[in-house]
Amino acid sequence: MAKELVKGNEAIARAAIKAGCQCYFGYPITPQSEIGEYMGANLPKLGRVFITAESELASINMVIGAGTTGTKAMTSSSSCGIALMQEAFSAMCCAEVPGVIVSVMRGGPGLGNIAPAQGDYFQALKGGGNGDYKLIVLSPSNVQEAIDLTYRAFHLALKYRNPVMLLADGILGQMMEPAEFGEYPYKDPDVNEWALSGANNRPARNIVSLHMPEGEMEQRTNMLFEKYAAVAKNETTFEEYMLKDAKLVLTAFGTVGRVAKAVVNRAREAGMKVGLFRPITLFPFPDKNLHEVAKNADMILDLELNMGQMLLDVRSAVFGACPVEFYGRPAGGLLTPDMIFEKVQELYKKLDDKTKAGVI
Amino acid sequence: MGADMSVIISGFGGQGALFAGILLCHTAVLEGKYTTWFPSYGAEMRGGAVNCSVNISDKEVPSPIIDKADAVIALNDASQIKFENRVKPGGFMIVNSSLSHIKPKRTDIKYINIPLNELAQKLTQPAFVNVMALGAFIEKTGILKLESIKEVMKEMAKTVSAKKAALLPNNLECVEFGANLIKNQMVTV
């Protein structure tokens, strides 16, 4: 199939439909409204369900309802809208309800603005919901990856019976570039073993997030974390670029990753040994892989459109193997190739000076 | 950087600045190039200011957001004011002199003044200033072929309503005329 020009938000919506999404529940918010628009125009034609909910809280709880029946369902929102869904994410994880959430980040905190940002890494990964739980979080850096990871989100949600978040930003949502859809590449597991499908002579089933008997919740949490360990073992993905001899390694997620990649190219042309490590799954975070990279590097520069959020996971993965620097801008401030290149030159010079002085 | 080209197209809502960018991208796709389109978005409305950033390249485009552009197409005076400082030194700005009479501020970029509204309205009714500007841009840069954008327009006409498709000949005329303005040196470049 040839590549076609497609907008990020529309690409996500189209991929969701191709992935077999039966229900979309959402409430409009910039910069992701085109997802709901596309779903509204197309799902009913296919005999599927589209509902403009009265709030984000309603949207995600409708996803829970559909999810308990094993139906592929999704919602999408942005920053302050996602904030309203946190309680439900925790409940979904506890009750093992599958569902796909698309978060297209804008500037915050508060209602913030509608400019692109990456300030919701903590929101997605460290959660505002209660208790020990984890969303599976996927981070696309271009429109093609937005399509591929939307497919993957629907599959992983059913495979692990867990909510999966596609964490994009306003740049990716609003931009157009060539991409291709292909076919939904996964074989999904049978949901009949657990789904609420009407008992009809089989024993009744109950999907709940309340476990009062002594020890039951502890046991359940341990079970969930065994599952998360399996997710980490099986599903961790990342991009490595020019890392073999890299002295300075850039880390970045989402659209910043593509900018960083161009800076690596430019730095290489200028004779600097710079590489890129880009996590594609944010949970599971590729911590072991990044640690190995850090052992062979002299320095890591973490780049984000926030005040340093993934930075905590980067530092934790690096665990002292090399120094970690941070460069970021929040709430709509953008990192251009020129700005990153300047920072790379500055840090690389420091490394060179240290090498000359025999420190490294 | 090879055949890299970054252009910001700006105007007031209804002039077709955003659509002109989409046309350019489709043309780039047709020619097998990498391309990105990024709009100003959110609280936009007809008559308000809108712009989009377009990259065309033989290599992957790192950032869809343009810091300094090789070229700016300013379809009105407000756009000239807003983006004059965003043209790279040595770059150029196509100014719709029908709607902008502002004196150029810079000496390190070229200004191509075209009275787009007058010319387009003389040529066809309804007229398409955005497409005429694209014709001039394509001819000036050589980044894409005029034939390719015409082919894109013809393909697009097949996917829209009959009422819109009927405007295809006007669009083709406008884009060709824009290119000829540069080719035949009818405007100062």
CATH number of the domain encompassing residue A198: 3.40.50.970
Same domain, yes or no: A199 and A281? no
Q: How close B186 gets to chain A, by Cα (Å)?
A: 34
Residues of chain A contacting residue B64, judged by C-beta atoms under 8 Å apart: 171, 175, 177, 255
The secondary structure element, H or E, covering residue B20 is helix B17-30
Output the DSSP codes for A47-91: T-EEEE-SSHHHHHHHHHHHHHTT--EEEEE-HHHHHTTHHHHHH
So what's the pLDDT on residue B1?
Answer: 36
Among A204, A235, A266, the domain-final residue is A235
Q: What DSSP line would sit under A205-222, residue for residue?
A: ----S---STTHHHHHHH
Q: Quote the tokens at residue A150.
A: 């939307």
Element holding B171 (H helix, E strand): helix B168-183
Contact B41/A4, CB-based, under 8 Å? no
CB contact (8 A) between residue A178 and residue B35: yes
Q: What CA–CA distance (Å, rounded) separates B50 from A31?
A: 16
Residue B42 predicted with pLDDT over 90: no
Q: Which of A3, A174, A338 sits opposite B38 (nearest CB)?
A: A174
Q: Are residues A69 and A145 in the same domain?
A: yes
- Mark whether A144 and A266 lie in a shared domain: no
Residue A307: which pLDDT band, with cuts at 50, 70 and 90? very high
Interchain contact, B37 vs A255, CB within 8 Å: no
Residues A173 and A303 in one domain: no
**Which residue from B115, B112, B124, B118 is spatially nearest to B169, judged by alpha carbons?**
B124
What are the tens digits of pLDDT across the range B108-119?
Answer: 999 999 999 998
Q: Considering CB atoms only, which of B26, B64, B67 is closest to A5? A: B26
DSSP state, residue B184: T
Residue of B25, B39, B62 lying closest to A5 (CB–CB): B25
B62 with A176: Cβ contact below 8 A = no
Q: Is the pLDDT of residue B9 over 90?
A: yes
Q: Are residues A207 and A261 in the same domain?
A: no
CA dist list (Å): A136 to A153, A246, A274, B41 = 8, 30, 30, 29
Q: Do A99 and A67 touch, CB atoms closer than 8 A?
A: yes
**Which amino acid is it at A7?**
K
What's the total number of domains in chain A? Answer: 2
Burial (0-12, 13-18, 19+ Cβ within 10 Å), A260: buried
**What is the ipTM metric for this complex?**
0.89
In total, the C-beta contacts within 8 angstroms joining chain A to chain B are 63
Regarding whether A288 and A148 lie in a shared domain, the answer is: no
- Alpha helices per DSSP H over chain A: 8-18, 33-42, 56-68, 79-83, 86-95, 121-125, 143-160, 170-174, 216-235, 255-269, 287-295, 310-318, 337-356
Res B44: pLDDT: 61
Give the end of a domain, one of A219, A235, A251: A235
Helix (H, G, I), strand (E, B) or coil at A139: coil
Mean predicted confidence (pLDDT) in B101-130: 90
Say yes or no: A173 and A30 in one domain. Answer: yes
Write out chain B residues lying below 8 Å of A114, CB-based.
41-43
Domain C-terminal end among A181, A205, A235: A235
Q: Are A224 and A277 within one domain?
A: no
pLDDT at A218: 96
Cα angle at B106 between B101 and B109, to 5 degrees? 100
Closest C-alpha to A314, from A342, A293, A332, A331 = A293
What span, in angstroms and rounded, lies between the C-alpha atoms of A240 and A89? 31
User: Comparing A272 with B186, which gets the higher pLDDT?
Assistant: A272
Per CB-CB distance under 8 Å, the chain A contacts of B36 are 175-177
At A315, which CATH number? 3.40.50.920
Domain span including residue A128: 4-235
- Give the domains, in start order, of chain B with CATH numbers: 5-183 (3.40.920.10)
Does the beta-carbon distance from B63 to A31 stay under 8 Å? no
Q: Kindly state whether residues A57 and A98 are assigned to the same domain.
A: yes
Taking the C-alpha atoms of residue B20 and residue B26, their distance in angstroms, rounded to an integer, is: 10
Helices A255-269 & A337-356, crossing angle to 10 degrees?
Answer: 50
Least Cα separation, residue B71 to chain A (angstroms): 18
Give the residue from A32, A174, A266 with the most B CB atoms within 10 Å of its CB, the best one to mutate: A174
Share of chain B above pLDDT 90, in %: 74
**Cβ contacts (< 8 Å) between B60 and chain A: which residues?**
258, 261-262
When pLDDT is averaged across residues A330-347 and rounded to a whole number, the result is 92
- Check pLDDT > 50 for residue A32: yes
User: Under an 8 A CB cutoff, do A261 and B65 touch?
Assistant: no
Q: What tens digit of pLDDT does each residue of A195-249 get?
A: 999 998 999 999 999 999 999 999 999 999 999 999 999 999 999 999 999 999 9
Distance of residue A336 Cα from the nearest chain B Cα, in angstroms: 7
Q: Which tokens belong to B172?
A: 């083709």
3-state secondary structure at position A278: strand
